[in-house]
Structure 1
Amino acid sequence: MSPQSVAISLFTIMFVSFGLCLGSYLEDTYLLTNYQHERLMKQNKEHFSTMKRAHQSTPLSPSTRPHRIVNVDDYGAKANDGRDDTQAFEKAWNEACFTGGVLVVPENNVYHLKPITFSGPCQPNIAFRVYGTIKAWPKMEAYERDRHLWIMFDSVTNLIVDGGGTINGNGRKWWENSCKINESLPCKAAPTAVTFYECNNLKVANLRFKNAQQMHVRFQGCNNVTASNLIVRAPGNSPNTDGIHVTGTQNIIIKNSVIGTGDDCISIVSGSRNVGVTDITCGPGHGISIGSLGAGNSEAQVSNVLVNRATLKGTTNGVRIKTWQGGSGYARNVKFENISMQNVSNPIIIDQNYCDQDEPCDEQDSAVQLSDIMYQNIRGTSASEVAIKFECSKTVPCKGIYLQDVILTPQGDDGAIATCQNVRYVQRGKFHPQCSP
């Protein structure tokens, strides 16, 4: 599927009936709001740029030499002894980047890295092949310079990251020191395991990510991305460990992957458009989410998202859209289709009163506009009474919500209901449970 095929046209669907009903509220949590995280990442960009090598200050011309194999062992990496291999990886990257080579992390070996940035621009078609295991340095003080990052690929074009190996965030100590686990501790940021920042024509495939300190994989400000055949694993009680996070990224395909974490399996936030999510198995976790959007009265823009062929097992949410009051902008042209829910607590949910903070959120007049959202061929079981929840803004109601062949039944003996507030919806085909009057 090409990125262009992600664009969705929902406007040709004929209105059959309109509903307006009332509902309730669901809360989920993040250590930092997306708004705060985006602002911090922008502030750190200046720091990242200073780390670029002198010989990469201008784009390099294409290399006519064959790709060179650059083995990290040849640059001083000492696997399996618990020592710091960061400097060896930096040297190997410098060589691979300058020559357009293939950096190789050998199999059956475990390498330990402190925070590291692999910067571009590089010669075309550079590759980073992980056959063994890269494991995060265990001492938290090594991350004090920037607690948001462990491994970062910055401004690399035509990059391939693959190999079948494992990237292990070694996150248990971070989870134990999270305010989500221990409320007596202050809330502090924890590193994203792997961040791809402003990378174009990127392929990430055939890798395992496990036990991230916080998010596992983050695509930020990228264009033309394919992420496929990934396995992402962390315990269901690990805080803020999103599987794949998409922000400010265009033309991205995420497919054929298995994700089970303590937070969203996939989260899509502002600045993202033309996003295709196909053949995903999710669980445990908080489901597949768009948002949160509009935090701190910010403007959000998300469009042309297709989630097709997904199985969610035992998650706290199924497919979710969450926005803060006071925001602006839009999320539109979103389609969820061919989705199986198995014992999911909130299979379908829109929450425009999202409030992830200790103090209650004041009611505000503005909101992110949600429109042209389709749910088609979604079936399965709900672990909670409310199988469908549309809690939309009073002042900016959800509009153009389409439901076709949506059948959700209770997991247990209790019934299942739908609660719908400030939403204009269209029903076609089978729809169960119906919105309360």
Structure 2
Amino acid sequence: MGAQKLLLLLALVLLLRPGDSQHEQTFSSDPSFRTGLDITDSSAVRKLSPGTPNERRRSTLGSASTVRNVKDFGARGDGSSDDTKAFAAAWKAACSSSAPVTVLVPEGKAYRLKPITFSGPCKSPITVAIKGTILASGRMSDWDGADRRLWMLFDKVDGLRVEGGGTIDGNGQVWWKVSCKVDSAQPCKGAPTALTFQSCRGLTVTDLKFKNSQQMHVTFSKCANVRISQMTISAPGTVPTRTESTSPAAPTLRSATPGSRSITATNIVCGPGHGISIGSLGANGAEHTVSDVLVDTARLEGTTNGVRIKTWQGGKGYARNIIFRNIVMDNVKNPIIIDQNYCDSPKSCGEQKSAVAVSGVTFQNVRGTSATAVAMDFDCSRTVPCRGITLQDVHLVTASGAPAKSFCRNVSLSKFGTVVPSTCSS
């Protein structure tokens, strides 16, 4: 599987309201969405769609007086020198500009960076034109004294545009080999997200390639009015992309994380990897909410899960008004799964009284093959059972063609049309 590629062809637009809160995956106009896209404490993600041809062709460079080229600030771009200070100086000059400005990362060069924060607020809108490659430092000690969850952070920058057709390479191989999931003798520690946007408004991220992140590739936290399109994300299928965890974790397409609502994800191709997940929600007794999610037209190939909702026992909140429709499964281990008893721990989590309520979930026109005998798995809380779960026109068999099974516990189901497997056993 490590030699296989994960193809995710997605073009997405995220419109987020303020105050609400090796694999290849390409975010484009072709079928698409995931591994490493995380939306946290952001809401009103209204539409996912391709960038226009004009957007994809549009030049990012203005006059020489409005361009801050990182090489003019001392960046060498030889792939081994530390260019962090040069990037910080170029950003400082751009952020203080009274006119719109472009920070240029030239083509044909590889710029090695330690952890870095590009802070706002800035005086004028900034475009970061990444034409070349930005490469993460290969020394884990460079994160000593820094936040291990972050490599490149844009914080409180309004009117930001990041684009250019270049590559962001997380140099994740350095982190993967010391993951506790690869070597059980290693301590389980966090690893950086390659690119994080925090508290940014009016943000556009387009025409970028992400490669081999240390953990997640891209995270949007507490952002508003965000547009994302034309992104390709690639990483081997068996890498431990969540090194703070002890469970296997190949790439995942996350449709929604806590605090998200009004999300539409369309035209997705994903696999191998973890599949499409909503959650996890309610960890450590937290109150999390996700609502009004539509996942429409997706193909999953060889994934660990197909379409999944996962919540921890002991949590609070809800996951509701969720639709998965027009989904094709190809040799997927758990094609349809709702797990209210999620437990990412080597020890039993034990039954708890509280749970994130799951309701109003529809699986419509879901077809294909399951790599396991159980194609539909509804493992819900005894005290807060799953309610209003609808199956409509579902046809799932095992990859061998044999009939598949379903498992149901503490769930209220409605069925319409032909549903195969047609019965639940608990």
Quote how far apart the aligned CAs of 1:321 are: 0.6
Distance 1:123 1:340, change over 3 A: farther
Query: CA separation in 2, counterparts of 1:274 and 1:296?
Result: 25
Q: In 2, are the aligned partners of 1:104 and 1:128 still within 8 Å (CA)?
A: yes
Structure 1 partner of 2:153: 152
Query: Residue by residue, what CA displacement relative to the aligned partner does 1:359-379 show, whole Å, maximum 9, x if unpaired?
Result: 211111110001111112222
Could you list the per-position Cα deviations for residues 65-120 of structure 1 after superposition, in whole angstroms to 9, with x for gaps in the alignment?
99822211111110124100111111111122222311111111111000001111
The aligned counterpart of 1:425 is 413
Q: Give the Cα separation in 1 of the matches to 2:178 and 2:15.
A: 43
Q: Distance in 2 between matches of 1:336 and 1:68?
A: 46
Deviation per CA, 1:179-212: give whole Å up to 9, x if none.
1111011111111111111112222121111111
Stretches of 4+ moved more than 3 A in 1? Answer: 1-6
1:316-370 deviation per Cα after TM superposition (whole angstroms, max 9, x unaligned): 1111111111111101111112222111111111001111112211111110001
Write the distance in 2 (CA, Å) between the matches of 1:72 and 1:4: 31
Note the residue ranges of structure 2 that are not aligned, 5 or more in a row.
1-11, 18-37, 42-62, 244-248
Q: TM-score, normalised by structure 2?
A: 0.81
Instruction: Give secondary structure in 2 for the equivalent of 1:142.
Output: helix
What SS does structure 1 have at the residue aligned with 2:81?
coil
1:22: which partner in 2? none
Contact 1:241/1:264, CA 8 A, preserved across alignment: no
Is the contact made by 1:265 and 1:283 (CA closer than 8 Å) also made in structure 2? Answer: no
Matched, 1:288 2:276: yes
Q: Deviations over 1:241-296 (max 9, x none)?
A: 59xxxxxxxxxxxxxxxxxx823122522111122222222112101111111111
Structure 1 or 2: more helix by fraction: 1
Residues 79 and 135 in structure 2, CA contact (< 8 A), matched pair in contact too? no
SS of 2:82's partner is: coil
State the SS of the aligned residue for 2:78: coil
Q: Structure 1 residues 177, 268: CA separation in 2 closer, same or farther (over 3 Å shift)?
A: same
- Please tell me the root mean square deviation across aligned C-alpha atoms, in Å: 2.4
TM norm structure 1: 0.79
Partner-residue secondary structure (3-state), 2:87: helix
SS of the aligned residue for 2:181 comes to coil
Q: Is the 8 A contact 1:315 1:343 kept in 2?
A: yes
Q: CA deviation at 1:178?
A: 0.8
- Provide the residue aligned with 1:271 in structure 2: 259
Q: Cα–Cα, structure 1 residues 3 and 183, in superposed 2: closer, same or farther, change >3 Å?
A: closer
Instruction: List per-residue Cα deviations over 1:382-421 (Å, max 9, x = no partner).
Output: 1111111111111111111122222222212443111111
CA contact (8 A) 2:403 2:421 kept: no
Percentage of pairs with the same residue:
51
Give the distance between the partners of 1:227 and 1:5, measured in 2 at CA: 11
**8 Å contact from structure 1 (residues 323, 354) kept in 2:** yes
Q: Which residue pairs with 2:114 in the alignment? A: 114
Is 1:415–2:403 an aligned residue pair?
Answer: yes
Distance 1:4-1:304 versus aligned 2 partners, 3 A rule: farther
CA distance in 2, matches of 1:4, 1:173: 35
- 8 Å contact kept, 1:3–1:274: no
Q: Structure 1, unaligned stretches of length 5 or more? A: 7-33, 40-64, 243-260
Alignment check: 8 A CA contact 2:16 2:226 kept: no
Distance 1:374 1:280, change over 3 A: same
> Could you say if the C-alpha distance between residues 103 and 395 of structure 1 is closer, same or farther in structure 2, counting changes exceeding 3 Å?
same
Aligned to 2:233: 232
Does the aligned pair in 2 maintain the 1:371–1:400 contact within 8 Å?
yes
Contact 1:389-1:418 at 8 Å conserved across structures: yes
Q: What are the within-5 Å matches in structure 2 for residues 45-84 of structure 1? A: 68-84=66-82
Contact 2:16 2:225 in 1 (8 A): no
Q: Which of 267, 273, 294 is residue 306 of structure 1 equivalent to?
A: 294
Matched-pair contact (CA < 8 Å) for 1:234–1:241: no
C-alpha distance in structure 2 between counterparts of 1:67 and 1:424, whole Å = 64
